[in-house]
Amino acid sequence: MKRFVKILIALLLAGVVVVGSFGAGIVFYAQFIGPAMAASSAPPLPFSTGAGLNGPAKPPSGEAPAGFDTFWEAWFFLNESFYGQIPPDNERVYGAIRGMVASFGDPHTGFIDPVRAAVFSEDISGSFEGIGATIRLDEFGRLIIVDPMPGSPALKAGLRPGDIILEVDGQSIENLSLYEGVLLIRGPAGSTVVLTVFREGEIEPFDVPLVRAEIEIEVVESELLDPPGRIGYIRLAQFSGGASEKVAGALEDLLGRGATAIIFDLRSNPGGLLAEAVDVSALFVKEGVVVIEKLKGGEERRFEAAGRRHATLEVPLVVLTNAGSASASEIVAGAIQDYGRGTVIGTQTFGKGSVQWPHTLQDGSELRVTVAEWLTPSGRQIHGEGIAPDIEVEMTFEDVEQELDPQLAKAVEFLNEQVNP
């Protein structure tokens, strides 16, 4: 089997910084929300521990927020004075909500109008189709390519990390949330989308046409690498339901075939279910807290490794990460790193450590609100920081084009030194 460059299949969000959730290129499930979003079909996976909040919420009688008189004054003045076509009431209301949400300064708290919210609902049980790239929203509200995935339409079209998306099919994404921007990029396999992109070093923005594709994901792939090290290699594509059982099975198979060290590849894994992240961590960590959930008001919940299935607690271990490793991937990498159980090799992870809950509003629109964040066992912040590798090894666009994998090569070299000193 080919190495990472060949076997990495385009994943969906965020997503998803989003991370999460399922965001533009990330897979979303009902049980989790919220990193970066992968434009392949969903956002880094944002995830939550709850099913969301639904139903109308109203301020106490007679306690409408101060400033609403000014809002209505502006509303009626525009109605009476604007020269031109006045947009429908619902469009103006949605615009006001977007502005209010933006004032919180959190790219993962976002508003989705009813039409786009319905598309998200379909994705929970449908197939994933898109361009195969993870994207994020930067501090200026711009959509940034984080990780065009090998073999994906995004990579084939020449998109690179750091590219800034300005327009989708001629429509500006200015003032849209991460989720809404992602949904413009996604679409049925075989359809074409044109992204207007600005790239550092280029004088002018340029158009990139892409043909969307269906994203096929094999959750776990494993193999026994060539001697002399007899190193087992496992790649986990996402933390979907049953992922920990699949990883445990792969570990037992490789160890049974004589593997004396393990490479666990979490590159471009946007995240997924919290429960799977905890169970996968426990495969390598025998006891202790594997992740801390910090809630509003300072309350904390701690998730322990004890009492869960353990698979390999002794053999040398390397975890591979990159900028597309987000959310649940960062929980696992952080736990392994904090306990000194293994060595993290690659590049800084995405930094998606917040949790979003979806709130369906009465007209079918959706509000996704950050309600908590995750910390590593030692209390390190994941969100906005990411997990720094113990050994940093870059993987360039040219490496991908030439099917080279210096990160995997370094992991093999490192483990061979451990196994055959």
Residue 116 lies in a domain: yes
Angle between helices 178-185 and 114-125 (to 10 degrees): 70
Marked catalytic residue, from 240, 327, 354, 365:
327
- What 3-state class would DSSP assign to 359? strand
Domain count, the chain: 2
Q: Are residues 246 and 299 in the same domain?
A: yes
Q: Which residue in the list 113, 265, 279, 338 is annotated as catalytic?
A: 338
Structural domain includes residue 365: no
How many angstroms separate the CA atoms of 317 and 293, rounded? 26
Half-sphere exposure of 128 (CA within 13 A, CB side): 30
pLDDT of residue 9: 25
Active site includes 352? Answer: yes
- 236 in the same domain as 164: no
Statement to judge: residues 337 and 401 lie in one domain: yes
CA angle 397, 316, 281 (to 5 degrees): 80
pLDDT tens digit string along 49-106?
333 444 445 555 556 677 788 888 999 999 999 999 999 999 999 999 999 998 998 8
Residue where a domain terminates, one of 179, 214, 249? 214
Query: Is 338 designated active site?
Result: yes
Residue where a domain terminates, one of 214, 236, 263? 214
| pTM across the whole model | 0.73
**Six-digit token string for 128:** 């994933």
pLDDT of residue 64: 67
Q: Are residues 199 and 233 in the same domain?
A: no
Q: Are 163 and 197 in contact (CB under 8 A)?
A: yes
Q: What is the mean pLDDT of each run of 10 residues along the chain (421 residues)?
A: 35 29 28 36 38 47 72 91 92 91 88 79 55 82 82 88 92 82 87 94 93 80 79 91 92 91 93 89 92 91 86 86 92 96 96 87 91 94 94 89 90 87 60
User: Do 150 and 176 sit in the same domain of this protein?
Assistant: yes
Whether residue 137 lies inside any domain: the answer is yes
Q: What is the pLDDT of residues 266-290, one digit of tens each?
A: 998 888 888 899 999 999 998 899 9
Whether 22 is covered by a domain: the verdict is yes
The one catalytic residue among 352, 354, 365, 405: 352
CATH of the domain at 163: 2.30.42.10
Please check whether residues 192 and 239 belong to one and the same domain. Answer: no
**How do residues 396-405 score in pLDDT, each as one tens digit?**
878 877 889 9
**Domain hosting residue 391, numbered range:** 220-354+371-419
* Helical H segments across 49-177, by residue range: 68-81, 89-102, 114-125, 153-156
Active site residue 363: no
